[in-house]
Structure formats: C-alpha cells, structure tokens
Structure 1
C-alpha cells in the first residue's frame, strides 16, 4: 500500500485528534487555574483528570507555567514531525527533481498509487521533465550541427590557403582561389547571420506593434520577383488586408525565408504562389520536387536540407525553415507544412488575431 500525502494526512488526523482534545482540555484548565490563583490566591477543587498533574490543594503556579511551556513545546515538536511525515512524498519529489540535469536527463518520478493530487503533480513534473529533456537534446544536436557546419568551410579555407602557399600560382589560379575563398566566407556569413537571427527569435518579441501583414508580404515578394523571373518562375500574390502584432524585421525575415525556399527548391517553368487572407493566414506554396510526407516535419529541424537539384545554387545553410518556425512561435503563430503529391511544398503560418 502506497502512503500518499492524502492518506498520511487522514492517518495523522485520526491519531492526533484524541491527544489534541486532551491537550486542549488540560491546557485550558491550567491557564484558567493559573489566572484564578494569581487573582485570588487559591483555586477551586472541582475534581477532574486535569488536576492530577497539579492538585488544587498544593497548586504551584511555577509548576503550572513549566507544564504549559514543556507541553506546548512537545506538542509543537510532535506536530512538526507529523507534518514532515505527511509531506515526505513531496520532499522526495523535490529531491528527485533537484538531481535532474544534463547528465541525468532520463530521471523521472514515476509515481505510483492512486490518482490523487500528488499523483497528478508527479505526472505533471514528469511531463515537464520530458520537455526539458527534449530541449536539452535539441540544444546538443543544434550545437553539434552548428560546429560541423562551421568546421567544413573553415577546413576548406585552410586547404585553399595551404594550396596558395605551397606553390606559385598563375593569375587565373589566383583568381579562382580568391573566388572560392570569397564564396566560403559568404557562406560563413550567412550561417552566422542565421544563427544570430535564430537566437533573436528564440528570445521572443521584445517590442510589439500593429503591422499590415499584406504590405510586408508585398514588399518582400517584390524583392524576390526578379530572382524568380531569372529562374523562369511565375511568382503570384493574392493579398487581403490584415493586421498582425509583432516586430517588422522578424516578420520580414519569416516571409523572406519562405519565398527564398520556394524559389530555390523549384522546377524550371514552375510557380510560387503567395496568399494572405483576412484570417491572418500566410501561405507560400511552390511546384518544387516531390517530398515524401514523412520527411516534411524534419524540414523544420536545423541544418536539414532536401537532396536534389536546385534552381538557385546560393549555398543555403539549412536554417531557413527553422528560423521561420522560431519567429512564428515568438509571435504566437502556428506553422504547418504540407507536401503536394504532385510535387512542391505548401507552408502556412496562422497568426493570432490582434487584440
């Protein structure tokens, strides 16, 4: 049998009730007798069990005070010990939670017994620890992936520099080497910029203002239209006027990442459709390659890229949709992606209404 705090409390009440009753009866009698004696110099000898400790014929006020102090101290001590016994399961949970850390992510309470308040608290703590463990693991994976992504271009730079130092280069070789170093540095800049944006969006929205989402989307779409046309893509927009609450730079980055991915992962002669409706739903869809449905959720993870041909070989760093998800979460929005069986991906961001 599991002694939950509720059961322990019931046992404590049943056990202490008779003692508490007798203690109160005796304490009240002793206090009344002491006050009466101090006023009149004597007490009434009415009989009763409380007079067994300090009889009326030889009543001692000093003994009465000592009895009250000692009895009260013992009662407080007993109540404290009993309270600790009742709440021991809660203390045990606190100790277990205190041991939780990066090296003990699998630690859980796994409470048993009846489904009372304590069991619900333990289950809630286990759920919270599950989320913390997922966060720790995601942070570890992110750090490992970021280190790998940074290590690769740095190794490339080192190799190129070693080649330039090992022998004399012609003008064409020097130009080629310089372009390769410049491309590697540009990729590093994009990666660092993506990491900083991701960190900023994870921090949340610090200053909110009411913004016209349709205007932001129109401006960003106009910036991406020349790139889409150069790739032979048709970029269409259907924008209904709607307002959202948030930070303009972050929202611009969210729309830019969606459009950049829709253009980059597309097919020759394809299309990109951007819609904003009055309910605050932003949808960006394209006619890109076919994506298996089971891989769609993974596209929002850091440094995940779909293999296959790209129309734009700009060297993405695999943080585009991760940043989209983070910015959307900071604005209280929900992101959903759906693969089109005929090819392409549709991403919808649902913003909450402005209050």
Structure 2
C-alpha cells in the first residue's frame, strides 16, 4: 500500500482541485450561465450555428420546474464538493490530530508514553520524532529533579536533626559545656550554608547560560591554582601545572566554580605527599589527575550524582555537601561541553573536560 507524505497529499489535493475546477468550468459553465440568466434576467440564450458563424440570441426563460431542478442540482453539487474537500483535509491532518490527542494525555504519571509515529518519512514524521525526543528529555529531567529533591530532603533532614539535638542538650547542660555545644552547632550551620549555596549554583547552571564572553581559560585556571596553593601546601600536596593559551566562550564565574570544585576535590581526596597534575590544552580543554586512594571503576559514574562521595560516610563530611561533581557536570553541559572521569593508573581520579 502506497503511503503518501504530507507534502505529496497536499500536492495531490491541489492537482485534483485544479483538474476538477477546470472540468466544471468546461462542461458546466454554459449550464450555470443559462440558469442564472433564466432565474435573475428572465431570459435564456439560444445558440445557432450557421456554417462557421455562431450567434446567440435571447430566448424564452426556462420553466419553473427546470429552474428548481438545476438550482437544486447546483446546490447539492456545491455541498458535496465542500464535504469532499473537508473529508480530504481531515485525512491530511489526521496524523497531527492523533499526536495532539497523545500529547494532551501526557502527565507526570505516564511520562513513558511516546507517539512512535510510523508513517512515511515526511514533515509529520519529523515532528513526531522531535516530540518523542523532547519527551525523553522531559522524562529524564523530571526523574532527575525527583531524585534530586529526595536526596536534598535527606541531606537537609540529617543536619536539622543534629541541630535540634544540640539545642535540646544545651537546654539541660551546665554553662561549662555551652561553648563546646555552640561550636558544634556553628559547624553544622556552616555545612548547611555550603549545602544551600551548592544547591543554588547547581540550579543556576541547570538553567543554562544567560550570556557568554571570550574567556582566557588558561589564565582562569592559573588563578584558581594560586587560590588553592595554600590549602594544597597545608595538605602536603604538590600542584603541577602545564598550560597553553586557550580561549573558550562561556561564563567566567561558572567556569571558575567548575575548576575550583575539581581542584578542591583533587586536594581533598589526596594523600600527604601526593600530587595533582593540571593541564590546559587545545584538546582536551582541561585535565586534572590526582594521586590518592585507588578508585573502583564501578563507582565512578555515581560520582556525578548529587550527594554522592567516594566514601559511604555522609554525616561526618563537614567540608562540602556532595554536590561538587554534579555542579561540574551541569556547568560543563551548560557550555555545550563534555566531562568524563576515570580511575588513575596509580590511584586517584583523572577528570577530563572538553569545551568547544
């Protein structure tokens, strides 16, 4: 069975309409003319052929019965023609109507439903495929937001419970222990502030870039390394840098945050006497490799999820909220880049960032 594309059907309808109109004009023009003159001018035209000359003269009008019959036939023909065109138009837009019905049924409860149009590869098929791809992105984003909200609520519930416990203890404790409890409460509050700040940065990066500008990426990375030099020295970690001139288009604030998170993690999850190698090149744009404990390959994909760390301990981690790598991925994605991670050859983790 031949499947006509939308464009082919429209061309066919236009061609048939033109052919039908030409046929009606050729065979029905004189009939309509005579009916019109007979009804509204009270005469008809009589044509006489004399050799090669054709002459027309006025004749007596048609009878009333003839006028009514021809008039009714013309009316019925017009109605049938309108109905035929309406039927053809409905057939042309039927695939779009079916897609509209499916889209109206979509909701949070059935985001897995798809159009899956199997017609000819035409404009309608392209529209259906684009809608299916959009629904895939919507479902992925919705599931990510749901998982993120669940993890965020879990992370916030724990420190809030700790704060409540500290306050309850402070209410029944002597003054000599108040300073210690206040210090613990302050540490918990500082962690909550970092968590909220991380959530805000992650939300902003997920929204995309409001604007871009040329950024000297090698200069930016150098400034970030200078900022973390004291922390690296305190942790007995050596910073090695190798950079070439590299300019990218993006948001300097978000790029600074992305590099800072990677360098901070490379220092944090290192060992005394360890090292960090930071390379800026044409391809890949950034590569950061640190020494440290061996990272199992199966745990690397989970590091990009919010509130995930290399260690299973969550509540005792006061330096960060487990959002660093998620923020890195969101910022790189907002810049139309890619980021990947793999276990280092001699321990630690190697992160590679590619920016256009």
User: Shorter chain as normaliser: what TM range?
Assistant: 0.7 to 0.9
Structure 1 length-normalised TM:
0.82
TM superposition shift of 1:84: 1.0
Alignment-derived partner of residue 169 in structure 1: 174
Provide the alpha-carbon RMSD of the alignment.
3.7
Are 1:317 and 2:324 counterparts? no
CA deviation map 1:267-291 (0-9, x unaligned): 2211111111145611111112222
Alignment-derived partner of residue 152 in structure 1: 158
CA distance in 1, matches of 2:345, 2:47: 99
TM superposition shift of 1:348: 1.5
TM superposition shift of 1:36: 7.4
Alignment-derived partner of residue 331 in structure 2: 327
After superposition, where does 1:339-350 map in structure 2 within 5 Å? 339-350=343-354
CA deviation map 1:297-346 (0-9, x unaligned): 22111111111799x96432111011111111222222121222431111
Alignment-derived partner of residue 42 in structure 1: 44
Alignment-derived partner of residue 139 in structure 1: 145
Q: Which runs of 5+ in 1 are unaligned?
A: 47-54
Alpha-carbon contact 1:237-1:273 (below 8 Å) kept: yes
CA deviation map 1:180-235 (0-9, x unaligned): 11111011100110111111112222232212111111111011111111111111
Q: Which runs of 5+ in 2 are unaligned?
A: 49-58
After superposition, where does 1:113-128 map in structure 2 within 5 Å? 118-119=124-125, 121-128=127-134
Distance 1:315 1:34, change over 3 A: same
Alignment-derived partner of residue 241 in structure 1: 245
Are 1:107 and 2:90 counterparts? no
CA distance in 1, matches of 2:133, 2:278: 38
Distance 1:95 1:62, change over 3 A: same
TM superposition shift of 1:121: 4.3
Are 1:85 and 2:95 counterparts? no
Most deviating of 329-338 and 71-80: 71-80
TM superposition shift of 1:293: 2.0
SS at match of 2:319: coil
SS at match of 2:295: coil
CA deviation map 1:31-80 (0-9, x unaligned): 5546877899532469xxxxxxxx99617898677765664344223211
Most deviating of 95-104 and 257-266: 95-104
Are 1:261 and 2:265 counterparts? yes
Alignment-derived partner of residue 291 in structure 2: 287
CA distance in 1, matches of 2:121, 2:60: 54
Distance 1:57 1:257, change over 3 A: same
CA distance in 2, matches of 1:313, 1:228: 19
CA distance in 1, matches of 2:129, 2:250: 35
SS at match of 2:101: helix
CA distance in 1, matches of 2:228, 2:31: 91
SS at match of 1:342: coil
